Amino acid sequence: MKKIIKALVVFGTRPEAIKMAPLIKELESREETEVIMCVTAQHREMLDQVLGAFDLEPHYDLNIMQQGQTLGEITTKALRGLENIIKDIRPDIVLVQGDTTTVLAGALAAFYNRVPIGHIEAGLRTYNKYSPFPEEINRLLVGDLADIHFAPTEASRLNLLQENKKAESIYVTGNTVIDALQTTVRDDYENEILDWLGNDKLLLLTVHRRENIGKPMHNIFSAIKDIIEKHKDVKVVYPVHLNPVIQQTAKDVFGKNDRIKLIDPLEVVDFHNLIAKSHIILTDSGGVQEEAPTFGVPVIVLRDTTERPEGIEAGTAKLSGIEYKDIFNIIDKLITDNTAYNKMANAVNPYGNGTASKQIVDIIIKEVRK
């Protein structure tokens, strides 16, 4: 009888958890694999929401989150805790997803203990080390440490080949977030936010990146506020990030506008269903750029760069930059120009067909048993 493959799955933030959840379920469904979950809880509250939504119970919880912690503190606490766990359970492979500080710590801990590393969502690049910060350097470093690269798209595979990663170590699988959407979005979804929306168009806003804090964020919020003033059939919902600086900026700019709803971060089921009901997504997030095209919702990326150029090339997303005038104009055009809107809404989703988790587990079984 062949040995069961022991896979240690490491994650610490809400986006990682959403994208790891369908992979964990797939690993649990196979006779050939045993899955062990470890969370760092780099983001505590927002992570716990996703764990509950997908019915995930971690075997290990490092619970490292502290108010005001630095990137160095996150890295060292996560690395120390993960190293002890790896030494204790001796996994056959460590799986990390994306580009957070937890991902870097997980890959380093595995490398230090000579355990193979599988990197889910590998090969995303802007080639600007401060945009996004610190994610661009995290994923570059993890790319050098990883043994198996699960690239979501062909463009990601080409990035890895350009960096001299071995072709036989790279697999294009699509993105696991598309798998997750199949379990969270419902036709009969109801929410008081939708009652408040009525027949108006919903602009769903998510802004949280470090590099946007300050003047860029003020520009973003000011442009959106003025869009609301111009278009009386549009409303904005903004699940505000828990960062106190972001919360204060949102309150300062938006005030108490009755067509802008500032709410707490949403649980994943609510968030995915609101994406599906949106007219336009306004975001500096990465994952939302992948999720929205599934529902034909145009995405305005509130950044100068994106590591997900596939959406731009396919026409599902547009970069607005971070200047007030550019942001206002690009949103205004989508609201007023039906041809421009429909072109984006009907573009083909470049991020896969919902089978990424199955593909990844098949590859893990094949590669670990070589």
Q: For position 20, what pLDDT does the model report?
A: 97
* Residue 2 DSSP label: P
Question: Strand, helix or coil at 272?
Answer: helix
Q: Which long-range contacts (CB under 8 A, 24 or more apart) does 189-198 make?
A: 189/273, 189/276, 189/277, 191/270, 191/273, 191/274, 193/237, 193/261, 193/263, 193/274, 194/277, 196/235, 196/261, 197/235, 197/237, 197/277
Catalytic residue among 16, 26, 135, 310: 135
For position 286, what pLDDT does the model report? Answer: 81
Residue 189 clears pLDDT 70, i.e. is over it? yes
Question: Which residues sit opposite 37 in a β-bridge?
Answer: 9
pLDDT, residue 242, reads 81
Is pLDDT at 127 greater than 80 in this prediction?
yes
How does residue 353 score in pLDDT terms, banded at 50, 70 and 90? confident
- Please indicate whether residue 135 is annotated as part of the active site: yes
Residue 287, classed as helix, strand or coil, is helix
Domains of the chain: 5-174+355-368 (3.40.50.2000), 192-345 (3.40.50.2000)
CA–CA separation, 19 vs 9, rounded Å? 12
Give residue 68's pLDDT band: very low, low, confident or very high (50, 70, 90): confident
Q: How far apart are CA 34 and CA 54, in angstroms?
A: 18
pLDDT 10s digits, 282-336 = 999 888 898 999 999 999 999 998 888 999 999 999 999 999 999 999 999 999 9
Supply the pLDDT for residue 1. Answer: 63
Over residues 105-121, the mean pLDDT reads: 98
The band of 89, judged by pLDDT with boundaries at 50, 70 and 90, is very high
Res. 144: pLDDT tops 70: yes
Which pLDDT tens digit goes with each residue over 190-202? 999 999 999 999 9
Choosing from 26, 121, 136, 310, which is the catalytic residue? 121
What average pLDDT does this structure show over 270-278? 95
User: Of the residues 119, 241, 259, 279, which is catalytic?
Assistant: 241
CB neighbour burial string for 121-140, b if at least 16 within 10 angstroms, e if fewer: bbbbbbeeeebbebbbebbb
> Exactly one of 210, 304, 326, 367 is catalytic; which is it?
210
Q: What is the pLDDT of residues 214-247, one digit of tens each?
A: 999 999 999 999 999 999 999 999 999 888 999 9
Active site residue 279: no
Confidence of residue 5 (pLDDT cuts 50, 70, 90): very high
Active site residue 218: no
CB distance 304 to 321 below 8 Å? yes
Active-site residue (options: 30, 44, 208, 218)? 208
Our answer to whether residue 272 is catalytic in this structure is no
Backbone angles phi, psi at 163, to 5 degrees: -90, 10
pLDDT of residue 153: 94
Tokens 């929306």 belong to which residue?
197
Percent of the chain with pLDDT over 70: 100
Q: Percent of the chain beyond pLDDT 90?
A: 81
- pLDDT of residue 57 exceeding 90: yes
Measure the CA–CA gap between 368 and 128, rounded to whole angstroms. 34
Average pLDDT in the 125-144 region? 94
